[in-house]
């Protein structure tokens, strides 16, 4: 028996972690125990004197590391959503140790020898299709990690992996600290232009800190609405400059040196593995295959996006001049005047929309969409102990009423919580040694208010992250390594992005977009104007995204990143692509967490647009059928969500669509076809 709740059996509801018992000091011994057990299991596999077989090698590896998986999943989920100083210290201590452990397992020569021997005989092994793909993908993964290198090179690869984990952790903690440290206190005279929902949220943020007045923070749900609505240009500029300065402040939280070292280490790793750049290495194992394919897609969109943005800027400057402001539109002005233009052109006022988009109704809309598409339903389980009062637990049930999984929703922004929105797993679905149901979590950063009212973008983000959740919840993969979102990096966004389309289905809006106080549906005229305005501002949005994707590729193809003057590089790069001066990068390098607080999207930020080609083309199929819930197409889409990495992603997509995807629906969706 043990008094460490992380190492004792998790006997609570659904086998969830015992959140009410866990403290930061429980994690170091539990992580140590998990690594030790995993190391022993892997050593036993490598030392097996029997000839390698799928059962004694691949199956055995899939069974190994169970304690470490559950403890580390619990830790990294909690440190992302409630990063106390004690938890952050554990993260700083253990991120490099865990990275070193993973590298030692991955680069173990005995394990690689067994897998290579099996892979050489793959056609003769008589494996099922998912097993054959698992073996092939594992062999590829090990080669790409450096398992086939000589001992000195393997040791260098392990050292690089360990150091990168330290740098990624420091980068993310620096950004979070900058976000938590900055706030702008407003008085009654500073509220001009702010709608009631933003005033209420700012008041609640101040009250939560025991301060009189109204607080604007660098949480996206606070600063972006402020930039959209505040009539105080001076305060908009102050907020915007603080937003883009995250990670740039001189001293120990300056992310510049971290970025240079991260890029240099990634480039070194790629060269050791025989690739010209990190981007070349990264893309070799994606749908895109090479940087040229990525850049071809991005530039296909970039030029019409710039033309569309120039048209938008001219219209905004004309609108500002008519209002008596004759200066040029600056980056802190664009959202403000764009909202004014949307009101003028579409009679669409965000403050009139938001009362019809309460969080509860949009959550019900997402659940109902899943029911109509995939036959699953969600029931709240309020009795389940969780890690924060804001978090809610829902059980996913199949059409037969049987348990299928657990969905946790952590919806609100708070101090110590990473910014943005993301999905993660406490446990993945598998059926390898008996059925194991998944536990997934969606994190959003909605401003907490009573009631919590969502912007259109926030409602779309809710659907997006729920799409990721469904990818995990619906998985029928046999093996943990193939479950749910464990797919190639430029396919993982397809299941999330395609689900966003169902928010725009008129039937969804008519049923669920209802006034939080009166229950009245969104007026039909307002609904029509909302749908008609979906292409409003797409020049800005596309330029903002594509520029970030392009700079990601440029940074990861740089020949000598350790020499970079990041400010100079950013300015020269933006000039070289013709970046409109009044539009800022969505993610400047010093706070580009997709790239530098982990490696998941490094040389991979493009994947959102790569997946958008697929999602726009896929939803076209439903529109062609004349039914957003066409049962045949829904079944085909469900097959993609269920498959995980058991099949090649393009094979999955063409099985659903009957052909390869076309880029034209994306251009139409963004209003760029004629730009």
How does residue 675 score in pLDDT terms, banded at 50, 70 and 90? low
382 and 447 housed in the same domain: yes
Please report the pLDDT score of residue 417 as a whole number: 93
Q: Is residue 626 part of a domain?
A: no
- Distance between CA atoms of 422 and 80, rounded to whole angstroms? 10
Place of tokens 């290495």: 281
**Is 629 in a helix, a strand, or coil?**
coil
**Same domain (yes/no): 366, 481:** yes
Q: What are phi and psi of 127, to 5 degrees?
A: -80, 155
Please tell me whether residues 373 and 508 are part of one structural domain: yes
Task: From 502, 517, 532, give the residue that closes a domain.
Answer: 532
Q: What is the DSSP letter of 522?
A: P
637-to-219, 264, 312, 630 alpha-carbon distances in Å: 34, 41, 36, 10
Range of the domain at 240: 182-244
**pLDDT(1) > 70:** no
Q: Cα separation of 332 and 235, whole Å?
A: 9
Here the CATH number for the domain that contains residue 135 is: 1.20.1050.40
**pLDDT(659) > 70:** yes
What's the number of domains the chain is made of? 3
> Other C-beta atoms within 10 Å of 94: how many?
22
Q: Do 92 and 211 belong to one domain?
A: no
Q: Is the pLDDT of residue 2 over 80?
A: no
Within a domain: 520:
yes
Q: Establish if 96 belongs to a structural domain.
A: yes
- Per the domain annotation, does 77 fall within a domain? yes
pLDDT digits (tens, 9 = 90+) for 271-283: 999 999 999 999 9
Per-residue pLDDT of 126-168, as tens digits, reads: 999 999 999 999 999 999 999 999 999 999 999 999 999 999 9
Render pLDDT for 161-218 as a digit per residue (tens, 0 to 9): 999 999 999 999 999 999 999 999 999 999 999 999 899 999 999 999 999 999 999 9
> Per-residue pLDDT tens for 78-96?
999 998 999 999 999 999 9
Mean pLDDT of all residues in 382-388? 96
Task: Give the span between the Cα atoms of 303 and 502, in whole angstroms.
Answer: 29
Q: What is the pLDDT of residue 326?
A: 86
Q: What is the dihedral of CA 289, 295, 297, 299, to 10 degrees?
A: -170
Average pLDDT on 262-291 reads 97
Q: CA-to-CA distance for 225 and 458, rounded, in angstroms? A: 11
Average pLDDT of the residues in 571-592: 94
Distance CA 173, CA 175 (A): 5
Alpha-carbon Rg for the chain, nearest whole angstrom, is 25
CB contact at 8 A, 70 and 78: no
**Does 344 map to a domain?**
no
Higher pLDDT, 600 or 60: 60
389 inside domain: yes
- Are 367 and 499 members of one domain? yes
User: H/E element holding 405?
Assistant: strand 403-412
**Overall average pLDDT of the 309-316 stretch:** 96
Tens-place pLDDT, residues 320-366: 999 999 889 999 999 999 999 999 988 888 788 999 999 999 999 99
Predicted pLDDT of residue 85: 94
Model-level pTM? 0.93
Residue 221, pLDDT score: 87
Tell me, yes or no, whether 525 and 440 share the same domain: yes
Kindly state the tokens that stand for 207.
């009250």
**So what's the pLDDT on residue 449?**
87
Q: Quick one: residue 210, left, alpha or beta (phi over 0 = left, psi -120 to 50 = alpha)?
A: left
Residues 142 and 230 grouped into a single domain: no
- pLDDT tens digit sequence for 617-646: 999 999 999 999 999 999 999 999 999 999
For residue 14, the tally of other CB atoms under 10 A from its CB is: 16
The residue assigned the tokens 């105080």 is 232
The pLDDT score that the predictor gives to residue 295 is: 94
Is 543 inside any structural domain? no
Active site amino acids: 465
Boundary of a domain, candidates 244, 278, 295: 244
Above 80 in pLDDT, residue 563? Answer: yes
Give the Cα separation of 192 and 239 in Å (integer). 15
Q: Are 144 and 191 part of one and the same domain?
A: no
pLDDT at position 383 over 90: yes
Neighbours of 311 (CB within 10 A): 12
* 3-state secondary structure at position 409: strand
Helix H, strand E, coil C: the string for 250-292 is CCCCCCHHHHHHHHHHHHHHHHHCCCCCHHHHHHCCCCCCCHH
What whole-number percentage of the chain has pLDDT above 90?
Answer: 93
DSSP string, 39-80: HHHHHHHHH--SPP-IIIIIIHHHHTTHHHHHHHHHHHHHHH
Same domain, 520 and 396: yes
Please name which of 199, 180, 168, 89 lies closest in space to residue 445, comparing C-alpha atoms.
180
**Site of tokens 């040694």:** 433
Q: Say which range, 287-301, 345-359, 392-406, 638-652, has the weakest mean pLDDT.
A: 345-359
Q: Average pLDDT, whole number, for the chain?
A: 95
């Amino acid at each position: 028996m043990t008094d460490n709740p992380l190492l004792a059996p998790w006997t609570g509801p659904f086998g969830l972690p015992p959140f009410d018992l866990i403290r930061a000091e429980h994690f170091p011994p539990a992580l140590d125990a998990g690594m030790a057990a995993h190391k022993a299991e892997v050593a036993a596999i490598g030392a097996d004197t029997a000839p390698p077989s799928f059962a004694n090698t691949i199956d055995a590896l899939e069974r190994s590391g169970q304690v470490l998986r559950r403890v580390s999943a619990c830790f990294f989920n909690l440190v992302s959503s409630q990063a106390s100083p004690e938890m952050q210290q554990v993260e700083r201590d253990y991120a490099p140790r865990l990275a070193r452990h993973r590298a030692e397992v991955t680069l173990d020569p005995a394990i690689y020898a067994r897998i290579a021997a099996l892979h050489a005989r793959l056609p003769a092994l008589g494996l099922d299709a998912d097993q054959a793909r698992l073996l092939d993908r594992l062999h590829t993964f090990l080669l790409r990690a450096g398992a086939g290198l000589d001992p000195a090179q393997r040791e260098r690869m392990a050292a690089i992996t360990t150091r990168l984990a330290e740098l990624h952790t420091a980068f993310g903690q620096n950004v979070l600290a900058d976000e938590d440290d900055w706030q702008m206190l407003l008085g009654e005279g500073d509220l001009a232009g702010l709608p009631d929902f933003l005033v209420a949220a700012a008041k609640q943020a101040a009250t939560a800190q025991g301060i009189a007045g109204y607080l604007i923070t660098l949480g996206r749900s606070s600063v972006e609405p402020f930039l959209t609505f505040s009539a105080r240009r001076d305060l908009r500029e102050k907020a915007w400059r603080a937003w883009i300065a995250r990670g740039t402040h001189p001293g120990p939280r300056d992310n510049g040196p971290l970025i240079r070292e991260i890029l240099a280490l990634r480039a070194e790793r790629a060269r050791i593995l025989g690739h010209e750049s990190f981007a070349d290495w990264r893309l070799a194992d994606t749908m895109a295959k090479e940087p040229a394919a990525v850049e071809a897609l991005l530039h296909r969109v970039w030029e019409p996006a710039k033309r569309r943005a120039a048209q938008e800027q001219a219209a905004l400057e004309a609108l500002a001049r008519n209002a008596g402001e004759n200066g040029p539109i600056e980056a802190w002005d664009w959202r403000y005047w764009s909202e004014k233009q949307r009101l003028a052109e579409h009679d669409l006022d965000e403050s009139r929309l938001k009362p019809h988009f309460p969080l509860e109704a949009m959550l019900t809309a997402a659940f109902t969409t899943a029911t109509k598409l995939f036959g699953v339903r969600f029931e709240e389980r309020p009795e389940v102990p969780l890690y924060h009062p804001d978090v809610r637990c829902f059980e996913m049930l199949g059409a037969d009423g049987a348990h299928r999984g657990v969905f946790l929703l952590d919806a609100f922004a708070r101090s110590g919580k990473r910014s943005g929105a993301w999905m993660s797993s406490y446990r993945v679905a598998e059926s390898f040694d008996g059925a194991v149901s998944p536990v997934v979590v969606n994190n959003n950063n909605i401003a907490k208010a009573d009631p919590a009212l969502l912007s259109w973008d926030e409602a779309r983000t809710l659907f997006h992250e729920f799409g990721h959740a469904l990818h995990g919840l619906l998985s029928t993969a046999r093996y943990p390594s193939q479950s749910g979102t464990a797919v190639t990096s430029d396919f993982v966004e397809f299941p999330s992005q395609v689900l966003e389309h169902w928010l725009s289905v008129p039937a969804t809006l008519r049923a669920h977009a209802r006034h939080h106080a009166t229950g009245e549906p969104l007026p039909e005229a307002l609904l029509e104007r909302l749908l008609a305005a979906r292409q409003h501002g797409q020049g800005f949005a596309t330029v903002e995204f594509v520029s970030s994707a392009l700079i990601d590729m440029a940074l990861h193809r740089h020949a000598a990143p350790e020499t970079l003057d990041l400010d100079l590089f950013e300015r020269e790069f933006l000039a070289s692509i013709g970046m409109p001066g009044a539009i800022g990068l969505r993610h400047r390098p010093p706070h580009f967490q997709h790239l530098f607080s982990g490696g998941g999207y490094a040389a991979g930020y493009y994947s959102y647009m790569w997946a958008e080609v697929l999602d726009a083309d896929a939803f076209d199929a439903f529109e062609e059928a004349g039914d957003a819930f066409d049962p045949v197409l829904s079944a085909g889409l469900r097959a993609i969500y269920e498959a995980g990495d058991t099949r090649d992603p393009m094979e999955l997509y063409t099985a659903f669509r009957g052909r390869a995807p076309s880029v034209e629906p994306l251009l139409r969706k963004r209003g760029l076809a004629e730009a």
